[in-house]
Amino acid sequence: MAQVLEFKLPDLGEGLTEAEIVRWLVEVGDVVAVDQPVVEVETAKAMVEVPCPYGGVVTARFGAEGTELPVGAPLLTVAVGETADGRPAGDGSGAGTAAADGARDGASGGREPAAEGSGNVLVGYGTSQAPARRRRVRPAAPAVNGRSRAPEPVRETRPAGTPQAAPGARTGRTAPADGPVPVISPLVRRLARENGLDLRKLAGSGPDGLILRADVEHALRAAGTQDRTETTAATAPAATTTATPAATGGPARSTAGAASVTRVPLKGIRGAVADKLSRSRTEIPDATCWVDADATELMRTRAAMNAAGGPKISVLALLARICTAALARFPELNASVDTGAREIVRYADVHLGFAAQTERGLVVPVVRDAHTRDAESLTAEFARLTEAARAGTLTPAELTGGTFTLNNYGVFGVDGSTPIINHPEAAMLGVGRIVPKPWVHEGELAVRQVVQLSLTFDHRVCDGGTAGGFLRYVADCVEQPAVLLRTV
């Protein structure tokens, strides 16, 4: 006998608590295999295709595209095993009969079948065997003439002025005043919240009084119709009042101005960036120092490397190589602060983050063990991570664990900036555009390739002398790349 297993949104790693459904990859009735991707979600860090640990027929999906779901919320249900007529649940001949309501009500008591094992492991799911879960069984209503009788509808009462279901709307049990509200879908909760609808006063038409989206929409339509009827007679007096603001002692509110306001939710990557930058500004007493440097010799060195054949070396890779050499001389900046323990944590390895602007927002991929890589290896890793960032396929591990950040804002055509430190790191090196400028070189005025370098640092981990020494060493290496030969 086929059993319906519920697949919940897993913890995708790094303590994420929610994800937004971007695109469903399966429909209700589709046959899915073990570890087949079923939905594409966007977390605060990356886009992730989530594989299902069960094989069978999709009987229900929870949440429309664009819906935010918390970790642990149901994603979909899958019928596994054999159907009542002996066919496998994955047989397409029975797929069309598996409906969303069957996902909630079709699971019966008894032993769970031994389902296929999942070899694709994300945090929170993916095992050698399907987990032995027990589903609650909804008590059946007394049978009448061999058929199950539907529960008696409960008519609700409401205070005046609150939305209610129109006559003929789906009805069911209302939630007790002190109990949980029978709502599964976050979309239903958000729809009610945005329209000021009290779900406790709404009777759900779903199983066991479950409030569905159709219930909320029906109540809102009914409330809108009633409000229009009640306000028709008051339209003329209201217009007269707003037309004479002087009589009320203040200006009338402009409805046209209110209509032009757009509210954009802080969620996904935008929300994660906002939270991290706010925390950085709140916790870190940062300071910034900067210096102009003549990058002419650096650009000539790069041109000579690329002329020698082999993979092309990027400017960012050379700057990263300079950064790692500078951090070896000034390890105080390759650190973070443990506020709870009141300790400075210094790192022996350099995991170098770099700012990458994508269509989805700003992300900071991390090059692991950057101090062990040469310019060619750094170039290749920067290219790989940048491409993954633009495609939205970076993993949480590739977006966390940095110890120092390199920010090349020169790609935006600007000279300088005072960047916000990427919490919980202790410093960030900013690099402006490299442009021809008048420069005194060997006692004479000349046109040279000039760049502005800035260092924002956490003043708790070091004083200005250390930060100035780090930045001066970076500038010296930019002006005379041969300086690096001392440490290569």
The residues annotated as belonging to the active site are: 459
Contact 265/442 with Cβ under 8 angstroms? no
- CA 430 from chain centre, in angstroms, equals 26
Measured CA to CA, the distance from residue 33 to residue 215 in angstroms comes to 34
Structure tokens at 341: 């323990």
| E strand or H helix at 358 | strand 356-358
Query: Parallel, antiparallel, or unpaired: how do β-strands 404-407 and 352-354 relate?
Result: parallel
Name the β-bridge partners of 447: 438
Contact 390/358 with Cβ under 8 angstroms? yes
DSSP secondary structure string for all residues of 18-72:
EEEEEEES--TT-EE-TTEEEEEEE-SS-EEEEEES--EEEEEE-S-TT-EEETT
Triad 227, 230, 232: Cα angle to 5°: 105
Query: SS3 helix, strand, coil % of the chain, rounded to 5?
Result: 35, 25, 45
Per the omega criterion (within 30 degrees of 0), is the bond before 176 cis?
no
Q: What is the residue type of 49?
A: E
Name the β-bridge partners of 77: 6, 60
User: Which residue, 237, 286, 221, 282, is CA-closest to 418?
Assistant: 286
